[in-house]
Amino acid sequence: MLDKLSEIEKSALDALESVQDASSLDAWRVAHLGRSSPLMTVFSELGKLSKEERPTVGQAANRVKVALEAALAEKTESVKRSALERSLNEGKLDVTLPGRPIHRGRLHPSTQQLRRVLAILAEMGFQVYTSREVETDEINFQLLNFPPHHPARDMQDTLYIEAGERGENPILLRTHTSPGQIHAMREFAAMNPKDPPPIRIALPGMCFRAEQITARSEVQFNQVEGLAVGKGITFSDLKGTLIEFAHRMFGQNARTRFRASYFPFTEPSAEMDVECFVCGGKGCAVCKNSGWLEILGSGMVHPTVLQNGGYDPKIYSGFAWGMGPERQLMLRYKIEDIRYFWGNDIRFLEQF
C-alpha cells in the first residue's frame, strides 16, 4: 500500500511537470486530487485495511496529499507568471509612437474677463452677490424707479416669460443686473431693519434684451454691477472707486473722464470714459476718432431706490455702476462682432 502511495505521488508530480496553462492545470487537479483520483480512492478504502496498517497508510496518504497540494499551489503561481510575461511580450509598448493630442479646455473669454473684473473689485473690498436671471417687472423696473410706461423702458427692450394682463406683474428675463441691487439691499436690511449694515458688493451675471442681433447688439450679454451703500457716501467716493478700478483694469496711466447722463435709478448719473487704449487718445476707428471709450454707467443711488431696498435715504446714501465685460473685451482686442461671443466657434474661443 505504501509503495502504491509513492507510485501515486511520483506519477502525479511527473504529470505536473508538463502542465503549461491554466486549463491543463485544472485537469491535473481533477485527475490527481479530485474525488475519484487514485489518492482519494486510497482514503476511501482505508476502512478496508487492518487495524495495524490503517494509521501508517493514513499518515502516508495525508503526507502525499499535502505534498501534491503544495506542488499545485506552486505550479499555479508559475503558470500565472508566465501567462503575464507572455501577454507583456505580445502587447509590447512602442514608446517611440507619437502620443494622441489632448485637447485642453479653457474658460470662455467672458468668464475670464468677469474673473479679472471681480478679482480687482475683491481687492477693493467688493464681495460677489449673485441674483436670479428670471425677474418680475416690479424688481427689474418698478422698484428701480421705472414706472409702468416710463419712456426710459425703451432703453431696454424686454424678453417676457409671461406677459400677464394689464396691471399685472409680468415675469421677464432681467434686462440688466440692477435688480440685484433691490434683492441685495432687502437681504442686508433684513439682518437689522432698524440700523441696516453697509453694503459693498459686485453683482455679475447674464442679462437679456429683445434686440435685433447685429455685429453691435446681442440678445444676451454679461454685466457687472457695483453697489456701495452706507452713511456719508458721496459722489467723490464713486469717482475715487471707479477711477481706481480703471487704473487697475486698464493701466495706472489710463486717463478717465465723467460725463453727465441719465438713469432712472441714480441721481445724479454719469458715464465714465477711459482714454482710448488702442490709439492712446489720438483718435482711431475703435474710439471713432473721439480718443475716448465709454466703459460704464454710474450714479448716486436714487433715494426712491434706497427706500425700496429698506434703507432710509435721510440716513443712507450710496453709489452704483454697471459695466459690460464683453464690451471691455471688444475694445481691448478690437473684436468687431459681438456675435462671436455666443457663436461657439472654436477658432474664436481658442484665441483667449
Considering the complex, state which of residue 245 and residue 321 has its C-beta at the smaller distance from ligand DAH.
Answer: 321
Separation CA 281–CA 243 (nearest Å): 17
- CB 176 to ligand DAH: min, Å: 3
131 binds ligand DAH (CB under 6 A): no
If phi over 0 gives left and psi between -120 and 50 gives alpha, with beta otherwise, what is residue 177? Answer: alpha
178 binds ligand DAH (CB under 6 A): yes
- CB of 198 closer than 8 Å to CB of 227: no
Count the Cβ atoms, other than its own, within 10 Å of residue 24.
14
Question: Grid coordinates standing for 68?
Answer: 501534491
In 3D, which of 183, 168, 195 has the Cα closest to residue 133? 183
Separation CA 23–CA 215 (nearest Å): 72
Which of these ranges, 128-136, 187-195, 278-286, 296-304, lies near ligand DAH under the rule CB under 6 A? 296-304
Q: Which of 146, 292, 321, 341 binds ligand DAH (CB under 6 A)?
A: 321
Number of residues that bind ligand DAH (CB under 6 A): 11
Count the Cβ atoms, other than its own, within 10 Å of residue 151.
8
Considering the complex, state which of residue 61 and residue 202 has its C-beta at the smaller distance from ligand DAH.
Answer: 202
Considering the complex, state which of residue 176 and residue 200 has its C-beta at the smaller distance from ligand DAH.
Answer: 176
Instruction: Name the H helices within 34-164.
Output: 38-44, 53-90, 109-123, 137-140
Separation CA 334–CA 331 (nearest Å): 5
299 binds ligand DAH (CB under 6 A): yes
Rg (alpha carbons) of the chain, rounded to whole number: 41
179 binds ligand DAH (CB under 6 A): no
Q: Which of 37, 266, 308, 317 binds ligand DAH (CB under 6 A)?
A: 266
Which of these ranges, 68-76, 88-96, 292-300, 331-339, lies near ligand DAH under the rule CB under 6 A? 292-300
Which of these ranges, 1-9, 12-20, 229-237, 314-322, lies near ligand DAH under the rule CB under 6 A? 314-322
322 binds ligand DAH (CB under 6 A): yes
Considering the complex, state which of residue 28 and residue 316 has its C-beta at the smaller distance from ligand DAH.
Answer: 316
Nearest residue to ligand DAH, by Cβ distance, number only: 322
325 binds ligand DAH (CB under 6 A): no
Considering the complex, state which of residue 250 and residue 321 has its C-beta at the smaller distance from ligand DAH.
Answer: 321
Question: Grid coordinates standing for 100?
Answer: 494622441
176 binds ligand DAH (CB under 6 A): yes
If phi over 0 gives left and psi between -120 and 50 gives alpha, with beta otherwise, what is residue 205? Answer: left
- CB of 321 closer than 8 Å to CB of 225: yes
Which of these ranges, 12-20, 132-140, 145-153, 294-302, lies near ligand DAH under the rule CB under 6 A? 294-302
Q: Which of 298, 308, 317, 328 binds ligand DAH (CB under 6 A)?
A: 298
Q: Crossing angle, helix 22-33 and helix 53-90, to 10 degrees?
A: 170
Q: Which of 9, 137, 225, 326 binds ligand DAH (CB under 6 A)?
A: 225
- CB of 8 closer than 8 Å to CB of 38: yes
Question: Grid coordinates standing for 303?
Answer: 433715494
In the complex, which residues of this chain contact ligand DAH (CB under 6 A)? 176, 178, 225, 263, 266, 297-299, 320-322
